[in-house]
Structure 1
Amino acid sequence: MLPPAAIINDGNVVFDSEHHIEHSNSVIKSTSKSSVLHRSLRSDPLRVVQASGNYIELSNGQRILDATGGAAVACLGHGNKRVKQAIVQQMNEVSYCHSLFFASSAAELLAEELISSTNGHMARAFIVSSGSEAMEAAMKLARQYYTELSPPQLQRTKFIARKESYHGTTLGALSMSGHVGRRALFEPTLLHNISRVAACNAYRGKRPDERDDQYVARLAQELDGEFRRVGPDTVCAFVAEPVVGAALGCVPPVPGYFAAMRAVCDKYGALLILDEVMCGMGRTGTLHAWQSPLIGVAPDIQTIGKGLGGGYTPVAGVLANHRVVDALRRNSGAFSHGQTYQGHPIACRAAFEVQRCIREDGLVANVGRMGALMERLLRERLEVHPHVGDIRGKGLFWGIEFVRDKRSKQPFDPKEGVAMSIHELGMQRPYNISLYPGSGSADGTSGDHILLAPAFNVSESDVELIVDLTARVIGDFFDKKGKRC
């Protein structure tokens, strides 16, 4: 069991476990000797000394199977030679130029690649350094769109998002998020112009006697009611993740959900912003998650990240459709937002090469094939486990939710730190596997889950090994937990 300091695992902080902490007269002593402000100040993380393919080698001699790509980032695995060569080539051309004065061929190549991949739905790409920055830019772009209309709709200052969501760690992006644990410490400083409706989470939200279409109709009615409650002509956009990542653990929508949400947005003249930072760029089986028939609608504004650059450089972006871009072009002719490192040449060149690898090697198709295998094996190995409540996901993006009681879906007490403990067990010998933990999937505070998000180029044997190790970690964890209890 984790100590009181580790009650909340917000996914951004890795809290110390009991064996990492020395206690003396109830005072916690730090074993950290680092000058880095690590996510924990009490002990230093193990250092990575080498990474190649699906494996990370640590300073203690362990070789860890990276089954999550970090945070669903390393979509090509580690050490890709093509990407490394592209980065060097770009450095020989130009490493940095200020986007206020200059353009770079790398930024143009990446933007062209991204826009063409949307089959004409999107018009321009805005490249930044992180998913949080992308969401900040998307919020500002949505607001500016309404000020550029003729006549301008200056009263539109509000956003509607969803509960149990996560859109970034900066104050604006965190304000958009509904993740209770990640918001808690900063709640007094967050924006007050954002409200939330229920997420589309069939496992937790759909009634036992409810059909999918009835569930969708109920959620659409809730969104419609929220528009009317806050003032339908005051809302800039509805914001949602097509497949919810860290906050809920890879929860896909039920069929027809996003079409219904789009209809409500259109009814009141609001934009639809889809946050694909974690679930996009091939992760769920189509390059853009909204291109899946399960989603079925194109957004007005889209955020992308993680799989965009595969972790080779810090890079993320915003895609805007013709409706938004044309409004700015007709009026001010500019997006009133800029950052020092936007369109960074090295970041763009690395991301462009990652996207070329994905396209030329047919990796999105491989995501679909290996994702189907992963789903089948996970269900075979874990669906009957008494503490596995739900297995859900899409492509190579799978979540496993844990419950104390399978029939009632009762979650574990957050104080037990189940998801983080499973992650920590997996990191130990003989398992040597990285599993991504999360919490709050039941009600924003309670509810434990882990994510699996391996590289897009995994093989059948890779998937079999990942599922085998994951099942063994989960089985052994609950066996030991049962004996302790």
Structure 2
Amino acid sequence: MPSAGSPEPSPPGISPRSKAESSLFHRSQKEKPLKIVSGSGVTFTLEDGRQVIDASAGPSVACLGHQEPRVRKAIMDQMQSIAYAYSMGYTTDAAEDLAAQILRGQPGGLSKAIFVNSGSEATDAALKLASQYWIEKGKPSKQQFIARKQSYHGNTLGALCVSGHESRRAFYSPWMSQNVTLVDPCYSYRGREPDETDSVYVARLRDQLETTILDLGEQNVAAFILETIPGTTLGCVPPSQGYLRAMREVCDKYDVLLILDEIMCGMGKTGAMHAWQLQDIRGPDIQTIGKALGGGFVPISGVLSTQEVFEAVANGSQTLAHGHTFQAPPTACAAALEVQRIVEERDLLANVTARGSQLEKELREELSDLPHVGDVRGQGLFWAVEFMQDPGRGQPFLKGSEYSDRIVSEAQKLGLNILGTLGHTGRHHVEHVIISPPYIVNQHEITEIVARLKAAILVVDAQ
């Protein structure tokens, strides 16, 4: 027995110091996280004084970088007015103005917004809205959802149910719902057969979606949810020409809602406010947004819907059967509103397009000849490099190789923050890194990002 006042013995393998080092339950227990003490522009500073270029804007969040006085002022002004308001029976100018800003001109027919906190919450809200829509329309049997393999829509249980990310689902398989069917993603680099053209490949995916709807019974299918451009699961894969239009046509044919997830790829990251605007498609019925919506200054995400979806509720039960304590929070809405005003006033989407073209050019010029670089792809400031064991033979790295993780680690040592492969996502084991810097990135910083990334790859290849 320890004496009075002496510390309790530590469990085997845990030293008293490591046990007391942090009260946080960190996401990874493999190594101690680095402490960030400040940030400015596209860089942040670590506790030891090192400066790191945030070439991924966190997980594609900090679109204005790490300091913006106008957003700070907007937050303070809102807190001096009203910091919190319950959305049941109340609204605020901050929430109303943010919705009006995003939906100005009703892009693709989107006319209403729901604001919540994380992207996962937005996915859950979108799924529940789709279910409620069909109940309000007198078709309660339409409760089956179709999603894509190797997709990711969030970590709450509802969002995870429609995510095809295998390793993220594995721990929670008993919780996964039985009303979700997964179809193949649009991933032409490795999903298209050698003898297929892009148009034949798209037609095959179209037929697969149609067959899936018919197998489930069109009277039972509520919605098809997909990422316009997948992020961490496949690595910034733009859809093949005509793919989104084909998916929209199938959904329309069988009275199925189309939900586009733009939590990661949207809100300007591609050079257009919505990634689907660069595709041949009129738009989704429901869309999720997040990350760059608020630029990381305050957590916020959202769900956008068409007028038709809204009117089904407004003319039916008149009550959205979904809500949160922190729904349409005024402080977060004020921050996001200022972020979006800055993006517009400073014409930052033009910079996204210009610097994105530079990023593509330099990634291809500097990396394409490296022995394990298989594909460079993306749009705007949303790019990925996929690595293969033998690109010429189409031979991927084996699961467990951690090739991209090692590149991320070496890049960090060189003062570069990028995203790597986050687990095993499915049939195709994808080793990639993502580069999605803030919209304010300049020409010199793009060149430096590519140079440091190349240096990190060379170090890993030499190991």
Tell me the distance in 2 between the aligned counterparts of 1:28 and 1:104.
Answer: 50
Q: 1:197 aligns with which of 180, 183, 193?
A: 183
Which structure 2 residues correspond to residues 396-475 of structure 1 after superposition, within 5 A? 396-428=381-413, 431-439=414-422, 443-444=426-427, 446-475=429-458
Tell me the distance in 2 between the aligned counterparts of 1:402 and 1:329.
Answer: 49
Distance 1:476 1:295, change over 3 A: farther
SS of match in other structure, 2:159 = helix
What is aligned with 1:395?
A: 380
Are positions 1:31 and 2:18 aligned together? yes
The alignment covers a number of residue pairs equal to 450
Distance 1:41 1:475, change over 3 A: closer
Tell me the distance in 2 between the aligned counterparts of 1:444 and 1:313.
Answer: 36
Tell me the distance in 2 between the aligned counterparts of 1:214 and 1:42.
Answer: 45
Distance 1:209 1:28, change over 3 A: farther
Q: 2:268 aligns with which of 282, 289, 296?
A: 282
What is aligned with 1:71?
A: 59
How much does 1:297 deviate? 3.0
SS of match in other structure, 2:124 = helix
Deviates more, 1:349-358 or 1:205-214: 205-214
What is aligned with 2:286?
A: 301
Tell me the distance in 1 between the aligned counterparts of 2:195 and 2:101.
Answer: 45
Give the counterpart letter for 1:323 in structure 2: E
Give the counterpart letter for 2:198 in structure 1: D
Retained in 1: the 8 A contact 2:60–2:436? yes
Are positions 1:376 and 2:361 aligned together? yes
Which structure 2 residues correspond to residues 5-404 of structure 1 after superposition, within 5 A? 31=18, 33-41=21-29, 43-116=31-104, 118-119=106-107, 121-149=109-137, 152-292=138-278, 294-404=279-389
Tell me the distance in 2 between the aligned counterparts of 1:296 and 1:465.
Answer: 36
How much does 1:445 deviate? 6.5
How much does 1:328 deviate? 1.1
Tell me the distance in 2 between the aligned counterparts of 1:295 and 1:34.
Answer: 50
Tell me the distance in 1 between the aligned counterparts of 2:247 and 2:425.
Answer: 23
SS of match in other structure, 1:416 = coil
Tell me the distance in 2 between the aligned counterparts of 1:38 and 1:297.
Answer: 42
How much does 1:441 deviate? 7.5
How much does 1:371 deviate? 0.6
Retained in 1: the 8 A contact 2:42–2:440? no
Distance 1:43 1:476, change over 3 A: closer
How much does 1:315 deviate? 0.2
Distance 1:442 1:277, change over 3 A: closer
How much does 1:117 deviate? 5.5
Give the counterpart letter for 1:387 in structure 2: H
Residues 340-384 of structure 1 deviation map (CA, whole Å, 9 limit, x = unaligned): 000001100000000001111111111111111100100001112
TM-score of the aligned structures, taking structure 1 as reference length: 0.90
What is aligned with 2:9?
A: none
Retained in 1: the 8 A contact 2:271–2:381? yes
Retained in 1: the 8 A contact 2:149–2:165? yes
Retained in 1: the 8 A contact 2:36–2:46? yes
Residues 411-433 of structure 1 deviation map (CA, whole Å, 9 limit, x = unaligned): 222222111111111111xx110
Tell me the distance in 2 between the aligned counterparts of 1:237 and 1:88.
Answer: 40
Query: Structure 2 stretches of 5 or more lacking a match?
Result: 1-11
Tell me the distance in 1 between the aligned counterparts of 2:219 and 2:121.
Answer: 27
How much does 1:296 deviate? 2.5
Give the counterpart letter for 1:449 in structure 2: H
Query: Structure 1 stretches of 5 or more lacking a match?
Result: 1-25, 481-485
Give the counterpart letter for 2:64 in structure 1: L
Retained in 2: the 8 A contact 1:164–1:440? no
SS of match in other structure, 2:107 = coil
What is aligned with 2:4?
A: none
Give the counterpart letter for 1:327 in structure 2: A
Distance 1:405 1:443, change over 3 A: farther
How much does 1:450 deviate? 0.6
Retained in 1: the 8 A contact 2:131–2:143? yes
Tell me the distance in 1 between the aligned counterparts of 2:369 and 2:294.
Answer: 37
Retained in 2: the 8 A contact 1:441–1:449? no
Retained in 1: the 8 A contact 2:221–2:256? yes
Q: Following TM superposition, where does structure 1 have runs of at least 4 consecutive aligned residues deviating by more than 3 angstroms?
A: 26-32, 41-44, 117-120, 439-445
Residues 209-264 of structure 1 deviation map (CA, whole Å, 9 limit, x = unaligned): 22221111110000001111111211110001111111101001011101100111
What is aligned with 2:7?
A: none
